[in-house]
Amino acid sequence: MKPNALLLKPSDNVVTCISPVKKGEPVVYRRGDELCSFPALEDIPYCHKAAIQNIAVGEEIIKYAQSIGVALTNLPTGSWVSHLNIRGVPRDYDSELI
């Protein structure tokens, strides 16, 4: 199988699809030397995210090893993660300055 998604950091709970993935097709990505896959639960557009593990309501969505928001619904593995089911959380950038 050829990868069609990228895991950007090992601690991420989403991958980014580098081609469209139809419902039922495998989402394939690399975790180090390991090739991983799971079936897409819905159509996932190009450059959109897919959950690589179950994410509960209120749980953080992690991409680039950073929180990009929280889940508004339960997102089982294989779910399309989009603006429709996550909410951005404002960051306190002043406290992050060195």
Is the pLDDT confidence value at 4 over 90? yes
The C-alpha angle 1, 63, 77, rounded to 5 degrees, equals: 55
pTM for this predicted structure: 0.90
pLDDT in tens, 23-46: 999 999 999 999 999 999 999 999
Mean pLDDT of the chain: 95
Q: What does the domain layout of the chain look like in residue ranges? A: 5-91
pLDDT in tens, 18-28: 999 999 999 99
pLDDT in tens, 68-79: 999 999 999 999
- Topology adopted by domain 5-91: 2.30.130
